[in-house]
Amino acid sequence: MKIMRETKEWRPLPDQITIKESKIEGLGIFATEDLPPNTDLGISHVYDQRFPDNYIRLPLGAFINHHEMPNCRAIVSESHETLGEIKHIRIITDKSILSGEELTLNYIINKLENPNWEFEYEVSQ
């Protein structure tokens, strides 16, 4: 007997963004439609202390590039409306982004006294 499970559709990126070649570095995240300020693009990292940097990086976090004058910001959240209590990082647009424009963050990687790397995201000025 085959057990039927309720399937949930999971997409690595929301429909309004895609991955393509970047002029900044390698591949980047680009808008496929105009995005207003404060658009929540989803989860970029999920906290898990078993990993060397304490985060599992999802596609959004893997491909968003650094820029000194970013158009997005990262926020740390302790819970998610459908997932419950789960520490994670979300990416939010800071301003209007036009279709075709690359999404960017201002991020710094610091090596701490312990050998693990910690990621710190700064909000643009």
Ordered domains of the chain (ranges, CATH): 17-122 (2.170.270.10)
For residue 41, pLDDT over 80 is answered with yes
Q: Give the span between the Cα atoms of 105 and 92, in whole angstroms.
A: 10
pTM given for the model: 0.74
Say if strands 27-31 and 17-21 run parallel, antiparallel, or are unpaired.
Answer: antiparallel
Helix ranges, 1-125 (H) = 59-63
Model pLDDT for residues 70-115, shown as the tens digit of each residue: 999 998 888 887 778 889 889 999 999 999 999 999 875 443 343 4
What is the DSSP secondary structure assignment for residue 64, as one 8-state letter? P
Q: Residue 124 burial by CB count (10 A; 0-12/13-18/19+): exposed, middle or buried? A: middle
